[in-house]
Amino acid sequence: GAYLAYEIQLRLGFAGAVALSPIGVALIGVVIERLAIRRFYREDPALALLFTFGLAMAAEQSLRLVWGATGLPFGIPEALRGQVFLGDFIYSRYRIAVLAVSAAAVIGCWLLLNKTSFGLVVRAGTRDPEMVRALGIALSPILTAIFALGVALAGLAGVMSAPLAGVHPAMGTEIVVAAFVIVVIGGLGSFWGVVWAGLIVGVVRGLTVLFYPPAAEASMYALMVLVLLVRPRGLMGERFERFE
């Protein structure tokens, strides 16, 4: 998403990159889902995890071949430069914009999953896909749409993070481990658990960087171990009953 946004912003500016990059990435995601990902829906989820991880590695190397191994500059738009003073605190305007976009994405996803018939089918399909199919609902296009939405959100994240972290080939794979830790801490099947876990991990890493920078990466793993010792399902993970 960040590389596509880089090419778009050279021609249409930052606003064009924010608007078009997620759409372009979503279209690529639809092609990948239809050609490869859907083959794993009835298989062990670990196979899909391994495949997508390998795909991410291949994508990273492809980016190195096309754009090179060094990072590309991606400046903050003029309208979002500068700081905002709130009492004794100083905040970057762009970081506030990132926070606003993130909050809008979270609220939008929650409304989609909980207040629409589409979201109802998605939630039912993740729990009992065979029953959903028995009701005459085709899950294939819905799964494609969900995959495209997830990829589009990843593309949006790439656009918004590019001015902060720069555009480089490893920027996608670097976040994979942190995302895994956040999902484990939040708990599988819990939307708000993952949201809260992301906030907690961010605060913990930020405080660790402030007081003891060498332990910044280790702090989130220590937090994950602590949470799993107290709550093996994660902070808000669902309890699944096993029927024999």
Q: Are residues 191 and 142 in the same domain?
A: no
Per-residue pLDDT tens over the stretch 43-100? 777 788 788 888 888 888 888 888 887 878 888 888 888 888 877 778 888 889 989 9
Give the model's pLDDT for residue 149.
Answer: 92
Does one domain contain both 153 and 168? yes
Q: What is the pLDDT at residue 243? A: 38
Q: Is the pLDDT of residue 242 over 60?
A: no
> What are 158-181's pLDDT values in tens digits?
888 888 878 888 787 778 888 888
The total number of structural domains that make up the chain: 2
In this prediction, residue 225 has a pLDDT band, given cuts at 50, 70 and 90, of: very high
Rounded to the nearest integer, the mean pLDDT of the chain is 85
What percentage of the chain exceeds 90 in pLDDT? Answer: 15
Phi, psi of 239 (to 5 degrees): -95, 125
Domain containing 212 equals 173-244
Closest CA to 225 of 185, 175, 167: 185
Among 148, 185, 167, 203, residue whose Cα is nearest residue 64: 167
The string of pLDDT tens digits covering residues 183-207 is 889 887 788 888 999 999 989 988 9
Choose the final residue of a domain: 129, 152, 172. Answer: 172
Are residues 244 and 141 part of one domain?
Answer: no
Q: Residues 91, 152: one domain?
A: yes
pLDDT given at position 42: 76
Q: Do 179 and 167 sit in the same domain of this protein?
A: no
Mean pLDDT of 138-151: 87
For the chain, the C-alpha Rg in angstroms (whole number) is 20
Q: By three-state DSSP, how is residue 167 classified?
A: strand
Which pLDDT tens digit goes with each residue over 21-45?
999 999 998 998 888 888 887 777 7
231 and 163 both lie in a single domain: no
Cβ 190 vs Cβ 236: under 8 Å: yes
Residues 72, 117 within the same domain: yes
* Domain end marker among 138, 154, 172: 172
The whole-number pLDDT of residue 239 equals 59
Same domain for 153 and 231, yes or no, is no
Check whether residue 65 and residue 94 sit in a common domain. yes
Q: Clarify whether residues 150 and 205 are in a common domain.
A: no
pLDDT for 238: 64
Do residues 207 and 139 share a domain?
Answer: no
Collect all residues with Cβ–Cβ distance below 8 Å to 136 and sequence separation of at least 6. none
Structure tokens at 103: 């909050």
Final residue of a structural domain among 172, 191, 223: 172
- Token output for 144: 């494609």
Whether pLDDT at 152 is above 60: yes
Same domain? For 7 and 91 the reply is yes
Where do the DSSP E strands lie in 71-156? Answer: 83-86, 89-92
